[in-house]
Structure 1
Amino acid sequence: MTSIKLPRIPDRSPVKIAIHVPPELARALDDYAEFYARSYASTEPVTELIPAMLQAFLESDRAFVKSRRGAASGD
């Protein structure tokens, strides 16, 4: 087998997750999409913003990031 410097590209197939949110959260998400559009002069549907929002949230949770690092290293 040939040695290659580039690691195998991870699976990038999207996984569909269906959720129900309360009306107040749905309104807040719509408001956020409007705020995003005003901020960046680019309209994105809520369905496109939610994955980015979740990713940013998870990456900003230091305890969670630390926990995942520990789990990955077998601690």
Structure 2
Amino acid sequence: MAKLKIGSLPDDKPVKVSLELPASVHRDLVAYAKVLAGESGQPISDPGKLVAAMLARFMATDRGFAKLRRASQSRTGEG
């Protein structure tokens, strides 16, 4: 079985964001939720909850973003 890029969803305080998705993206999100539920054994009642984990994974693996973020933080003195 293929390894999915996201695992279990973290239990974190959410921030509400509203967005519209193309129907094809929503269908894929629902399908991904079904596969993930099958692998993890945890039912996913709202496939929309996967979006945050997917975005976090995308940003964490985007080398260009990480490089620019580090450069920005070093200029501003943030940690």
**TM-score, normalised via structure 1 length:** 0.75
- Aligned residue in 1 for 2:40: 40
Q: Which structure has the bigger radius of gyration?
A: 1
Deviations 1:3-42 (A, max 9, x none): xxxxxxxxx7532211101100000000000010111111
- Deviation, 1:46, is 1.3
AA aligned to 1:17 is V
- Does the 8 Å contact 2:37/2:43 carry over to 1? yes
AA aligned to 2:65 is F
Identity %: 33
- Does the 8 Å contact 2:30/2:47 carry over to 1? yes
- Deviation, 1:70, is 0.5
For this pair of structures, how many residues does the alignment match?
A: 64
- Aligned residue in 2 for 1:26: 26
- Aligned residue in 1 for 2:15: 15
Question: Which fold has the larger relative contact order, with Cα–Cα distance below 8 Å and residues 6 or more apart in sequence?
Answer: 2
- Aligned residue in 1 for 2:9: none
AA aligned to 2:15 is V
Runs of 4+ in structure 1 deviating by more than 2 angstroms, as ranges, are: 12-15
**TM-score, normalised via structure 2 length:** 0.72
